[in-house]
């Protein structure tokens, strides 16, 4: 049975217009990435995870202000930490920033996070996990979501025990990436666990992991009963994958389309982060956009060595001259509106 991913679903009172969620990814999910995801059909976009300790103490290296643009909604802002009180305070700031949903990270496998008792570690501490969700749900008026892995160790079924308890504590939706923290991103996501979780909870479940094509998305939805699918690494430098998954096109983008989207992404990122930070941040994106046989490998390597984003843009437009008109059109179509700027340090840790 085919599922129409273009139909809406709900997280509490929040209407999500499509059944495709763009994953929160550390070092990736800046505003430019989220806005692009919305343009290409993601019904819900998510920020990279934010440290609640950084919010409370202002002692993290600040990577910039978290911006919420008018065209990002619905938007989830993800937080992580291990103390209910500080997580609740962080959630209040997330709500003040203009987010539609506050998402709690119980899935990050990175040691810097798990050794503090946060991320995937909380799946092995159900009492603390439920206390965090309860505190956050009690602190805000917006819905609370939780992103989980299956557990810390390979073969763990901790998510099936913790999931229903998180719902009882106030979670309005759950996202499951059915790999263990130990697996990181190796092996395959075991969506049989996703199907079991769907049976055990009375809220929408989002299936995350290995959703890289329309066929795979349809298979996961059909076999799990999940409300939506989450796409992460497959959308890095490849927003066209989102449209393909939605069934709105399967043609590979032209060289001009790739260059135009990358130029717009560069400009938006510089606007958000400033030239100095953006220049280093963007280097990984050049390989993501220009790979897949779209441009010669030496050209990708050339861009990584370029000193300024202005020079990157010049070389892209020289390599694909027809992209200039596309960039002009894309910029004209960009919605304008007020942004909420919240003085909130963004996490420097890896995501999960």
User: By mean pLDDT, which of 137-146, 159-168, 179-188, 197-206 is the weakest?
Assistant: 179-188
Confirm if 215 and 180 have CB atoms less than 8 A apart: no
> Alpha-carbon distance 106 to 16, whole Å?
22
What pLDDT, in 10s, does the model give residues 259-306?
999 999 999 999 988 999 899 999 999 999 999 889 999 999 999 999
Q: Burial code of 215-250, b = ≥16 C-beta within 10 A, e = fewer?
A: ebbbebbeebebbbbbbbbbbbbbbbbbbbbbbeee
Mean pLDDT over residues 239-249, rounded? 94
The answer for residues whose C-beta is within 8 angstroms of residue 21's C-beta and 6 or more apart is: 42, 43, 44, 45, 46, 175, 206, 208, 228, 229, 230, 231
Host H or E run for residue 120 = none
- The pLDDT-based confidence of 341 (bands split at 50, 70, 90) is very low
Whether residue 103 has pLDDT greater than 60 = yes
**pLDDT given at position 344:** 43
Confirm if 120 and 107 have CB atoms less than 8 A apart: yes
**pLDDT given at position 338:** 54
User: By mean pLDDT, which of 57-61, 82-86, 118-122, 320-324 is the weakest?
Assistant: 57-61
**pLDDT given at position 119:** 86
Residue of 46, 52, 108, 159 with catalytic role: 108
**pLDDT given at position 61:** 36
If DSSP codes are grouped into helix, strand and coil, which group holds residue 168?
helix
Mean pLDDT over residues 129-140, rounded? 98
Whether residue 159 has pLDDT greater than 70 = yes
Q: Is 329 exposed, middle or buried (0-12, 13-18, 19+ CB in 10 A)?
A: exposed
Is the sign of the CA dihedral 105, 280, 332, 259 positive or negative? Answer: negative
Q: Which residue has the higher pLDDT, 171 or 346?
A: 171
159 tagged catalytic: no
**pLDDT given at position 63:** 33
Q: Give residue 111's Cα distance to chain centre.
A: 20
What pLDDT, in 10s, does the model give residues 42-82?
999 999 888 887 666 654 432 333 568 888 999 999 999 99
**pLDDT given at position 285:** 97
3-state secondary structure 276-328: HHHHHHCHHHHHHHHCCCCCCHHHHHHHHHCCCHHHHHHHHHHHCCCHHHHHH
> Alpha-carbon distance 234 to 22, whole Å?
10
> Alpha-carbon distance 276 to 296, whole Å?
27
If DSSP codes are grouped into helix, strand and coil, which group holds residue 132?
helix
> Alpha-carbon distance 91 to 175, whole Å?
18
**pLDDT given at position 64:** 37
Structure tokens belonging to residue 30? 């800046």
What pLDDT, in 10s, does the model give residues 179-213?
998 998 888 999 999 999 999 999 999 999 999 99
> Alpha-carbon distance 173 to 203, whole Å?
5
Q: Which residues pair with 67 in a beta bridge?
A: 341
**pLDDT given at position 334:** 83
**pLDDT given at position 352:** 40
CA atoms within 13 Å, Cβ hemisphere of 202: 4
User: By mean pLDDT, which of 25-39, 43-57, 82-96, 219-233 is the weakest?
Assistant: 43-57
Confirm if 222 and 1 have CB atoms less than 8 A apart: yes
- The pLDDT-based confidence of 250 (bands split at 50, 70, 90) is confident
Intra-chain end-to-end CA distance of the chain, in Å: 30
């Amino acid at each position: 049975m085919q599922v129409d991913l273009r139909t809406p679903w709900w997280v509490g009172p929040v209407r999500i217009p499509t059944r495709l969620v763009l994953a929160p990814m550390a070092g990736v999910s800046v505003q430019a990435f989220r806005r692009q995801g919305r343009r290409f059909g993601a019904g819900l976009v998510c920020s990279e995870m934010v440290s609640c300790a950084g919010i409370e103490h202002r002692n993290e290296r600040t990577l910039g202000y978290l911006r919420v643009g008018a065209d990002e909604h619905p938007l989830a802002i993800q937080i992580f930490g291990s103390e209910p009180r500080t997580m609740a305070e962080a959630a209040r700031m997330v709500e003040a920033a203009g987010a539609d949903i506050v998402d709690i990270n119980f899935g990050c496998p990175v040691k810097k996070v798990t050794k503090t008792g946060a991320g995937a570690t909380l799946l092995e501490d159900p009492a603390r996990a439920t206390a965090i969700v309860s505190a956050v749900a009690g602190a805000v008026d917006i819905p609370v979501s939780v992103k989980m892995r299956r557990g810390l160790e390979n073969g763990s079924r901790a998510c099936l025990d913790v999931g229903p308890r998180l719902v009882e504590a106030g979670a309005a939706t759950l996202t499951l990436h059915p790999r263990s923290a130990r697996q990181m991103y190796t092996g395959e996501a075991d969506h049989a666990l996703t199907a079991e979780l769907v049976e055990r909870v009375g809220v929408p479940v989002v299936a995350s992991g290995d959703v890289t094509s329309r066929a795979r998305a349809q298979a996961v939805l059909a076999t799990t009963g999940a409300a939506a699918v989450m796409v992460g690494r497959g959308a890095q430098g490849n927003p066209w994958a989102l449209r393909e998954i939605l069934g709105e096109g399967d043609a590979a983008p032209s060289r001009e389309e790739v260059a135009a989207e990358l130029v717009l992404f560069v400009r938006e990122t510089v606007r958000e982060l400033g030239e100095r930070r953006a220049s280093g941040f963007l280097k990984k994106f050049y390989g993501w956009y220009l790979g897949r046989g779209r441009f010669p490998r030496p050209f990708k390597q050339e861009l990584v060595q370029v000193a300024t984003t202005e020079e990157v843009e010049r070389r892209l437009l020289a390599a694909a001259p027809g992209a200039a008109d596309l960039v002009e059109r894309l910029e004209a179509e960009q919605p304008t509106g007020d942004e909420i700027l919240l003085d909130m340090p963004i996490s420097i840790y890896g995501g999960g």
